[in-house]
Amino acid sequence: YKVVVDKSTVPVGTADKVHEAIADELGQRGVQTPFAVVSNPEFLKEGAAVEDFMRPDRIIVGASDEHAISLMRALYAPFQRNRERLIVTDARSAELTKYAANAMLATRISFMNELANLAEKLGADIEMVRQGMGSDPRIGYHFLYPGCGYGGSCFPKDVKALVKTAAGEGDVDLKVLTAVETANDAQKHVLGRKIKQRLGDDLTGRHFAVWGLAFKPNTDDMREAPSLELLTALLAAGATVAAYDPAAMHEAQRVLGNEPRVRYAQSPNDALDGADALVIVTEWKEFRSPDFELIKERLKQPLIVDGRNLYDPALVRGMGFDYLAIGR
């Protein structure tokens, strides 16, 4: 008895196609081997994959074969000793669950980004709004942090895949997810827009310190990273950049190629020298408690453009900084 387990993020219906392909091949060989195909999508975060695997929130098993389901229960028994985490569905529902989970998280992010942009226009503070929203147990606090857009290999790809699948397979127009994608594409330009509003569209001769290149902390992943949109905008406007990231500078060099207008700094403070502004793109922990006096000394002018809302605006502005955040 053979069990084929698919743990990847694949289009809905893939498990059925795999089952059909295996059955056809066995038929051509004249072999009668009992088998089952199981969809078992992973829910692992970059930077915390091992911990997520060892302590899963849920285990989705998409199968209709009872023997295969029992084998999967035995396989995962060591990882759910204190409570039952395994949820059994059909294969197509399991495949859709993976997409739906990522699409929901992406939706929360884009929703908060749009609220943050509105808060700026209305004179409200999105952090206070976030606390008020998150205190409702039906909403919660997870993924309610506004910023300069989401990136990575999962959220952008999965939102696009769902929209395309719906249009192609079911002739369904997913209006909400289409808007999520559009809002995120626009949000990736928010830092460049804030900089140009403050310093002008022509940034020739301007120099910027950029903290953070990876699409999120604890990874070197540059796929769909908001930093790429920022760097493209700054360079196109005539600026130069000194960038620092604890993990992603080698990957950034590979992605950007031999770009002479970008210098890769040895430390966060090394990036500051002679910069017209400090721009924060990735919320690494080491950026959360900087030496603000040192920052002010090294910058040409005390301007911080914070794409992740790391600091208390009143505190930073009270120290003499011009502080531009997201919705604050």
The question of whether 148 is a catalytic residue gets the answer: no
Handedness of CA 45, 48, 53, 55 (dihedral sign): negative
**Catalytic member of 154, 180, 271, 310:** 154
CA proximity to 299, closest of 218, 227, 207, 220: 207
The β-bridge relationship of strands 207-211 and 277-280 is parallel
DSSP string, 306-325: ETT--S-HHHHHHTT-EEE-
Distance CA 279, CA 227 (A): 10
Token pair for 224: 């769909």
Count CB atoms within 10 A of the CB of residue 282: 28
CA proximity to 84, closest of 59, 109, 61, 110: 59
Catalogue the active-site residues: 154
